[in-house]
Structure 1
Amino acid sequence: MQTLNRRPAFSFSFLKQPNRLLAILAMFLLPCSFAWAQNSQVVLPEGVTAGPVVEGTRQYTLENGLTVLLSPDASKASVTVNMTYLVGSRHENYGQTGMAHLLEHMLFRGTPSLPNALAEFSKRGLRANGSTSSDRTNYYATFASDPELLEWYLRWQADVMVNATISRADLDTEMTVVRNEMEAGENSPFESLMQKVQSAAYQWHNYGNDTIGARSDVENVDIEQLRAFYRLYYQPDNAVLIVSGRFDLQKTLDLVTNAFSEIPRPKRSLPPEYTIEPVQEGEQEVIVRRQGGTPLVLAQYHIPAAASPEFVAFDLGAMILADTPSGRLYKALVQKGLAAHSFGFARPMRQPGYALFGAQLENGMNPDEALITLTETLEDLETQPFTDEELERARTQWMTSWEQTHADPASLASALSESAALGDWRLFYWTREQAEKANLKAVQEVTSAYLVPSNRTTGLYIPTESTQRAPKPKATDPAALLKDFEGREVRDPTAAFEASPQNIDAQTVRETLSLDNGTIELALLPKPTRGDRVEARLLLQAGSAEDLKNLRTVSSTAAALLTRGTTQYTRQEIADRFDQLQAQVGFGGGGNQVGINISVPGKNLPDVIELVGHILREATYPAEELDRYKTQARASIESAMTQPGSVASRTLARHDNPWPPSDIRYVPTFKEALEEINSLSRNALVDFHQRFYGAATLRFSAVGSFNPQNTKNALLQAFKNWKSAPEYKRIEQPFRKVEPEQFTLHTPDKANAVFMAFQPLEVQDDAPDYTALYVANYILGGSSSSRLWSRIRVEEGISYDVGSSIDASAFEPSGEWSLSAILAPENAQRFKQAMNEELERAIQDGFTQEELNEAVRALMNLRRLNRSNDGVLASVWLDYMQEGRSFAWSAKIDKELEALTLEQVNAAARKYFQPQALSSALAGDFPNQANAETKQGE
């Protein structure tokens, strides 16, 4: 489960209906009488009142107080349901910290009629989870549009609202899982430092508490107090049910009424909240010392609540300060070599919350100097005021993010959930208008008012000569603020698209465009989308393994730095142009491939293609940008050297690595990776670009609302007369036997351990038994209803996350079976025993017909869900173009899944799963192993 008290964090990266229940729930199916509503001819069930309607999102309220938000969108063949309870860590009393988060876990343990809810979700192909923040707890699921699935999940939500088991036995089992999650956060220097800064910044308010809670409170929680907390807050008058995506509005409103109306309105009153955090009266500091990682500096400031008219203005100011690469912190810290990375955000909260700014340093950098520069940059707005250019850049980025959220049903449901927790769901729409009308004077005044020394909590002590008090945030009443707010006129509903393999193939344009020195293979699928957006992918391929000798780090760096400057544009100008086009564009790659992901309004796709083509052809690799990249890369590698997951994965990757150091497939040690970063030069990047970037093999896919002919014209224009590049030859990854070996790796001062294992498989994805093998793995460890999950996570509570996966090439008989888990070091032996017992049971006894039926049903639903996602379709088309396939392949797999027999699945498991052939790595703080084992990743 996600714990959302202090996210987003930051990171660097250089380089996944039971009949019994229906019979019980059928007792709730009672007839309703109706009255005509005033909204679009929707018939209101008896007792239901209609509320505000804003841009297609409609509010209804049941007699028991349940708020229902319905936001139909026929353009996506999926549905997202989000049940939000207006309770979070803010509502916990003394000795109860972590109770809201713990209760979130317990609800997935189920009800008398449906125990082990996560397993039931997995069986049906629902992508479901929950999360807890300071202000709310929510439970959500996304699945392929299906009235029966929608009804099943809504009835589960109604059941668990009043019938959650919350047993002592389940609590004891789940306790280890929650502790495991707690320790995962403790592994992170950033998480640990941020929690302590946050705690120091609040004198009385519960916002100073970490959502996951104090270890002593969580480990000693009283079961009756937990049940009382549930009965107090998990009631319809304290909940908001959100449904978005493709569904029938009338039928869904009827269904919600039928499922929830029998739950009575509670007679209790929720306890009032008295605590108001006083204005901070002086700088405060926190210093955390621990082994591993790289230096960090943070500065936190109190700010207004999200429903305050001041919040959006401050949010824009924070973006001006923290953006990369245009932000003032980036320019003052990263560009001047004082830090490897800078960041910042204003967190929207129901009551006055906080903004956090900070920087990650490379070892050897001066934290004192970095912190002084950080705070001086933030608190010098009177002498260095914001500019119109900075505000417009931030506003454009803010609006692009808003539009992307609004266009996606799952993201919209999440945003409405957060807004409801902040006081009123309409805040989501209202904040857009605040961002549009925010002027420079307002942004300047509110940002400078709160970014003052006396309102600051940092990680170092910095003396000041004078104090300046931040203004006391005024109380806000969201209902009064929004009483006349109506939003904007909604356009006609978007037409539906049938996301079946046959229709996807029928509607996709497949052709090849000829260039002077190469070709562009196309897969274009125009279809209606809300917001008229399109997801596109471009793949450039050139060269062979032989061509790329000794160019491993140069190739990946050349791709990573493409947008850092061209012959015509600076890094900032490139970022600004993408913002103007409302485009999210990502460049990445390595070896003989470069990939570009594009998300943009369809009308702007030709302009984005033009700019992408220019970047690919005219990148210049400025020396100062290379220096910054090298600093960031070193900091990332140095941090990874102490993380259990990184150490374990690199150890296994090197164990399964027959290639010489010059080969592109070779996996370097951490030390070698640092040496390769240090040796990078601009000349090497320029030479690589000149040699390998050209019109060799290009592939392009697009799915969404766009004009195919304009797109083809833009591609031809962008890549005409481009020089040739070496012929593309796929880099082979042939099967090879690996002698099994078990590694125990010591990573000091890490509360969590990581287990990883793999077995090479001589199998290709078109093998007659591969689909059976895939299903066998799904039953064993591929889902939250799997045997490994049920035994190790649910029954014994040893691991927060455990599972297995299967991968196979489409080009050669070469694949891999892998397993992974996170656990407390002291549970290592229990974990190994439980895992080995389950592997042996699966191979010797096989699976059951019920397990097979549930797995096939879940996988079919997940496949339908994936085909309803435009981004997934665009990516899959790139894969299919390389493999010579179409969605007829997807339809073939569907048929194979539905035709599988239990004998085929059990035979595949016994043939391929060989636990004795597994190589494994267990990395964690094992003091007895400190001198006996080495870190193989080094």
Structure 2
Amino acid sequence: MLRHLILAFCLPILPTLSVAAPTRLPAGVSHVVSVEGIEEYRLANGLQVLLVPDASKPTTTVNMTYRVGSHQENYGETGMAHLLEHLLFKGTPTHPNVWAEFTKRGLRANGSTWLDRTNYFASFSSDDANLKWYLGWQADAMINSNIAKRDLDTEMTVVRNEMEMGENSPGRILFEKGLAAMYQWHNYGKSTIGARSDVENVDIERLQKFYRTYYQPDNATLIVAGRFDASQTLGWIAQSFGKIAKPKRELPRLYTLDPVQDGERNVTLRRVGGVPMAYAMYHVPPGGHPDFAAMNVLDVIMADSPSGRLHKQLVDTQLAAAVFAFSQELSDPGFSVYGVQLAPGQDIEKAQQQMLKTLESVSTQPITEEELRRARTKWEKDWQLAFSDPERVGVALSEAIAAGDWRLFFLTRDRVRALKLEQVQQVAAAYLVPSNRTLATYMPTDKPQRAPAPQRVDLAAMLKDYRGDPAATTAEAFDATPANIEARTRRFTLKSGLQAALLPKGTRGAAVTAQLNLRLGSEQSLKGQAIVAQMVAAMLDKGTATLSRQQVQDRLDELQAEVTVHGSATGATVLMRTRKEHLPAVLALVGDMLRTPSFPADAFEEVRRQSLSELESERKDPDAIVNQELDRRFNPYPADDVRHVLTFDEQASAMQQLTPEQLRAFHRRFYGGGQAQFAAVGDMDVAQVRQALDAAFGSWVAAEPHQRVPRPFIAVQPQRLSFVTPDRQNAYLRLSLALPVQELQPDHAALTLANYLLGQGGNSRLWLRVRETEGLSYDVRANVAFNPWEPNSLWTATAIFAPQNRAKVENAVREEISRALKDGFTAAELEQGRQGLLSFRRLSRAQDRNLAASLAENLYLGRDFKVSQQLDEALGRVSLAEVNAALRKYIKPESLVIGVAGDFKD
């Protein structure tokens, strides 16, 4: 609650302490420490006791602080700490009418709840009977409070009314909205009073458990301040609290912290009434951190009246009516709030701009010695006023207790006294920065617009008689074995040369998946055309000679179709998914897209901007940097060669020089269906699909013939590359090795299984070591990209990890590779891996998209699924000796090319 937010402390002139500490202690009580007249004691059950004697005023104040607030609440429990504060005053079996007793005894008593603590306090004219009674009630309330359902039912509505009262304060609600925007995970972002739904529906058993967990002597500090007899009071404390058993439960360990904020956040509140206001809120260290003292002084430097910078820049210039500031001392990283309130007619945008400029210009307008001296003097005065008043000192100590230790009350004072100008300057420059800021703005609005109120749906009632679509059919049970796939597949070739493979089978919803691969040009004809080719593919769905871009999209929606186009320097792939009855029409539309693209100028500029934006992101991405640099080493071709791996700069330059006419010229020259492969899997009429293919592509032949671009084996020198990518918290490691291996050669199966055991399966060596045992990576794997044409395949192992774990990850990967080479795999590993790999291959064949891709690729390679069956059989019979031999034959650690990138600090 806002009344608890601002607790200003400043340096002391210590009061006269007239009562000595007890020399003889009650049984079970031990003395801990004495600081400036405050004596700390500890009971055997863990209760901390602070005695702050001061005979100068005829009053006594007792404060009981529990280290529990909204910080400790779980999901669905927001507001529970505050609700419990209310229920404690509902009494115990032996103290049933607490408020009546307060009134009868003349006690000014209450409680408060905040982020890290709940406290109960009472002040009264010094009176032994009242002190003894209040101590007895506190001890009774600690473990015997009713916390009953009947009390919850009535008090919940009281708390709800308190919540409604707070809703009338735009400043309070703006503060809540600002904290919610500041904190992504930590409970400091949750309002202490809680969510209305949580307060209204709180479970009494959860509330009782919360009470039993936190309302225990080892989680509490009792403070007695003012005029009292220390020995007698300590005896009463031992008598009333000492009989409470030491709890056996362990307090929950809280560990959630928000990461460093990495950009400005803004939140706007619009309601009826009030005046505009704005809060600039910054994350600051915990109350115990040395920098926190400087934040307290900065609050005064910025917002004091009339000397504060904000006052001078906003109030004196009539940009605002008032300014304020406070920093909250908390156990975890807290916050500083700088606020500005406007008068009617003042401009909120101008006030905001000036406030932020003033706060965040310390680097160019340094703090002066005069500002520090004045702020320190004022802070010391306020601290002294709090410490010298026995009715305030208990509450002041409560904040320090909640922050971690009551002695912080004094330590912060000492730190303020010792502050140097350069310290204050450094702290201001570190924390008062835009990326650490949340700006919360209140805008009064006569007629605010609201979305409908949130509400739940009674699905049980809604779906009681629901039966679904009666026309829905059960899908065919299809056995995705190579033999069955081969038996069901229909292949043919169009007169243009387009090859097709159709696999009709029943599917849920009559779905069908298809893939069309276009093969373009040759090594010579594609020189310098890589970016043009990619851009052409990206533009194919942006409109045709007869249809606009929007019309293409509308037609796809009408046909319940999903069509995506991917392109590379040597080809384009069109992926399609639709229903049986729409497939012929989808093929007609795709034919129109591929044969008569319009390449509109506005879409061209949009795609180019998007491509340049993606390139700019990749420049700082660890994965993209490493992959590009390693791929360049395995493809050392001239800059105009289609196999050349373009740098980021080369890609950007080529993209910026492109014109729509270049795309049209490329399309006229290279696009055609003569060297294309089409495959479809799912519910279809084969005759209709063949007819649609012939109509769309039957006579379409490219002007430039296709000839596969060769990729012969090239030996690459071993090397290690390291790149620093600032502010990227996920690092990337890649190890690669060129293998003189061609797919389907005799030891293909052995090498495939060896790689699976090393780093591809969920039980692989790399996975078990790097992820499961050491917990260093979310994803670590190895793969062999087999070349079906030439003996030039690529083995690669990759891992992602936190940058500080670079050495551990790299060492673990190297050690596991070396261990596998030295010791080999075991028979148990082989059998488990064999079954896993064969199961994975069966699963892959059961996915229609994978099946369509394989059918299309097999057409180009001149294969059928008998090859897949042969590989399964070879995997089933390969021996342990063959697997270990294949690993040792091809994986050479001394020949690795290694790349690593991340935010490395060394």
TM range (shorter): 0.5 to 0.7
Match of 1:879 in 2: 857
Counterpart pick for 2:470 among 473, 478, 489 = 489
Between the aligned partners of 1:301 and 1:854, the Cα distance in structure 2 is 60
Between the aligned partners of 2:438 and 2:734, the Cα distance in structure 1 is 35
Match of 2:460 in 1: 479
Between the aligned partners of 1:465 and 1:566, the Cα distance in structure 2 is 51
Between the aligned partners of 2:550 and 2:442, the Cα distance in structure 1 is 35
Between the aligned partners of 1:898 and 1:300, the Cα distance in structure 2 is 65
Between the aligned partners of 2:192 and 2:536, the Cα distance in structure 1 is 50
Task: Report the structure number with the largest CA radius of gyration.
Answer: 2
| TM-score, normalising length: structure 1 | 0.51
Structure 2, unpaired ranges of 5+: 1-72, 80-179, 197-212, 214-258, 271-348, 350-436
Match of 1:676 in 2: 654
Counterpart pick for 1:727 among 686, 705, 711 = 705
User: For residues 542 and 472 of structure 1, do their structure 2 counterparts lie closer, same or farther at Cα, with a shift above 3 Å needed?
Assistant: closer
Between the aligned partners of 2:488 and 2:852, the Cα distance in structure 1 is 13
User: For residues 899 and 93 of structure 1, do their structure 2 counterparts lie closer, same or farther at Cα, with a shift above 3 Å needed?
Assistant: farther
Q: Within 5 Å, which residues of 2 pair with 1:307-456?
A: none
Q: Secondary structure at the match of 1:519?
A: coil
Per-residue CA deviation, residues 586-609 of structure 1 (Å, 9 max, x unaligned), is 111122311111111011111000
What is the CA RMSD across the aligned residues, in angstroms?
Answer: 3.3
Counterpart pick for 2:755 among 770, 777, 780 = 777
Between the aligned partners of 1:909 and 1:878, the Cα distance in structure 2 is 31
Counterpart pick for 2:536 among 558, 566, 571 = 558
Q: Specify which structure has the bigger relative contact order, considering alpha-carbon pairs within 8 angstroms and separated by 6 or more residues.
A: 1
> Could you tell me which amino acid in structure 2 is paired with residue 508 of structure 1?
T
Match of 1:436 in 2: none
Match of 2:450 in 1: 469
> Could you tell me which amino acid in structure 1 is paired with residue 690 of structure 2?
K
Q: Secondary structure at the match of 1:564?
A: coil
Between the aligned partners of 2:747 and 2:652, the Cα distance in structure 1 is 43
Q: Within 5 Å, which residues of 2 pair with 1:702-721?
A: 702-721=680-699
Match of 1:807 in 2: 785
Q: Is 1:578 the counterpart of 2:556 in the alignment?
A: yes
> Could you tell me which amino acid in structure 2 is paired with residue 847 of structure 1?
F
Q: What is the number of residues matched between the two proteins?
A: 507
Q: How many Å apart are 1:530 and its aligned residue?
A: 1.2
Q: Is 1:536 the counterpart of 2:517 in the alignment?
A: no
Between the aligned partners of 2:186 and 2:796, the Cα distance in structure 1 is 39
Q: How many Å apart are 1:297 and its aligned residue?
A: 10
Q: How many Å apart are 1:459 and its aligned residue?
A: 8.8
Is the Cα contact below 8 Å between 1:614 and 1:718 reproduced in 2?
yes
> Could you tell me which amino acid in structure 2 is paired with residue 468 of structure 1?
Q
Is the Cα contact below 8 Å between 1:696 and 1:725 reproduced in 2?
no
User: For residues 485 and 799 of structure 1, do their structure 2 counterparts lie closer, same or farther at Cα, with a shift above 3 Å needed?
Assistant: same
User: For residues 723 and 796 of structure 1, do their structure 2 counterparts lie closer, same or farther at Cα, with a shift above 3 Å needed?
Assistant: closer
Is the Cα contact below 8 Å between 1:542 and 1:692 reproduced in 2?
yes
Between the aligned partners of 2:458 and 2:654, the Cα distance in structure 1 is 57
Q: How many Å apart are 1:300 and its aligned residue?
A: 11
Per-residue CA deviation, residues 768-817 of structure 1 (Å, 9 max, x unaligned), is 01110110011011122001111111111122211111111111111011
Match of 1:236 in 2: none
Q: How many Å apart are 1:582 and its aligned residue?
A: 0.5
Between the aligned partners of 1:804 and 1:857, the Cα distance in structure 2 is 18
Q: How many Å apart are 1:635 and its aligned residue?
A: 1.1
User: For residues 892 and 206 of structure 1, do their structure 2 counterparts lie closer, same or farther at Cα, with a shift above 3 Å needed?
Assistant: farther
Between the aligned partners of 1:868 and 1:560, the Cα distance in structure 2 is 30
Per-residue CA deviation, residues 311-366 of structure 1 (Å, 9 max, x unaligned), is xxxxxxxxxxxxxxxxxxxxxxxxxxxxxxxxxxxxxxxxxxxxxxxxxxxxxxxx
Match of 2:56 in 1: none
User: For residues 915 and 650 of structure 1, do their structure 2 counterparts lie closer, same or farther at Cα, with a shift above 3 Å needed?
Assistant: same
Between the aligned partners of 2:860 and 2:754, the Cα distance in structure 1 is 27
Match of 1:414 in 2: none
User: For residues 911 and 624 of structure 1, do their structure 2 counterparts lie closer, same or farther at Cα, with a shift above 3 Å needed?
Assistant: same
Between the aligned partners of 2:484 and 2:691, the Cα distance in structure 1 is 25
Structure 1, unpaired ranges of 5+: 1-88, 96-191, 209-224, 226-285, 291-295, 303-367, 369-457, 929-938
Per-residue CA deviation, residues 97-140 of structure 1 (Å, 9 max, x unaligned), is xxxxxxxxxxxxxxxxxxxxxxxxxxxxxxxxxxxxxxxxxxxx
Counterpart pick for 1:499 among 466, 475, 480 = 480
Q: Is 1:510 the counterpart of 2:488 in the alignment?
A: no
Q: How many Å apart are 1:484 and its aligned residue?
A: 3.0
Is the Cα contact below 8 Å between 1:695 and 1:725 reproduced in 2?
no
Q: Secondary structure at the match of 1:599?
A: strand
Match of 1:748 in 2: 726
Match of 1:413 in 2: none
User: For residues 532 and 469 of structure 1, do their structure 2 counterparts lie closer, same or farther at Cα, with a shift above 3 Å needed?
Assistant: closer
Between the aligned partners of 1:883 and 1:528, the Cα distance in structure 2 is 27
Is the Cα contact below 8 Å between 1:90 and 1:206 reproduced in 2?
no
Between the aligned partners of 1:643 and 1:623, the Cα distance in structure 2 is 30
Between the aligned partners of 2:186 and 2:599, the Cα distance in structure 1 is 39
User: For residues 492 and 671 of structure 1, do their structure 2 counterparts lie closer, same or farther at Cα, with a shift above 3 Å needed?
Assistant: closer
> Could you tell me which amino acid in structure 1 is paired with residue 493 of structure 2?
T
Q: How many Å apart are 1:493 and its aligned residue?
A: 3.0
Q: How many Å apart are 1:506 and its aligned residue?
A: 1.1
Q: Secondary structure at the match of 1:800?
A: coil
Is the Cα contact below 8 Å between 1:637 and 1:670 reproduced in 2?
yes
Q: How many Å apart are 1:194 and its aligned residue?
A: 12
Q: Secondary structure at the match of 1:523?
A: strand
Match of 1:306 in 2: none
| TM-score, normalising length: structure 2 | 0.53
Q: How many Å apart are 1:859 and its aligned residue?
A: 1.2
Is the Cα contact below 8 Å between 1:564 and 1:622 reproduced in 2?
yes
Match of 1:904 in 2: 882
> Could you tell me which amino acid in structure 1 is paired with residue 484 of structure 2?
N
Per-residue CA deviation, residues 386-437 of structure 1 (Å, 9 max, x unaligned), is xxxxxxxxxxxxxxxxxxxxxxxxxxxxxxxxxxxxxxxxxxxxxxxxxxxx
Match of 1:848 in 2: 826
Q: How many Å apart are 1:922 and its aligned residue?
A: 1.2
Match of 2:598 in 1: 620
Is the Cα contact below 8 Å between 2:266 and 2:440 reproduced in 1?
no
User: For residues 554 and 849 of structure 1, do their structure 2 counterparts lie closer, same or farther at Cα, with a shift above 3 Å needed?
Assistant: same
Match of 2:376 in 1: none
Is the Cα contact below 8 Å between 2:480 and 2:845 reproduced in 1?
yes
Per-residue CA deviation, residues 737-786 of structure 1 (Å, 9 max, x unaligned), is 00111011101112221111100000001110111011001101112200
Counterpart pick for 2:848 among 860, 870, 875 = 870
> Could you tell me which amino acid in structure 1 is paired with residue 480 of structure 2?
A
Between the aligned partners of 2:876 and 2:776, the Cα distance in structure 1 is 34
Is the Cα contact below 8 Å between 1:193 and 1:288 reproduced in 2?
no
Q: Secondary structure at the match of 1:844?
A: helix
> Could you tell me which amino acid in structure 2 is paired with residue 760 of structure 1?
A
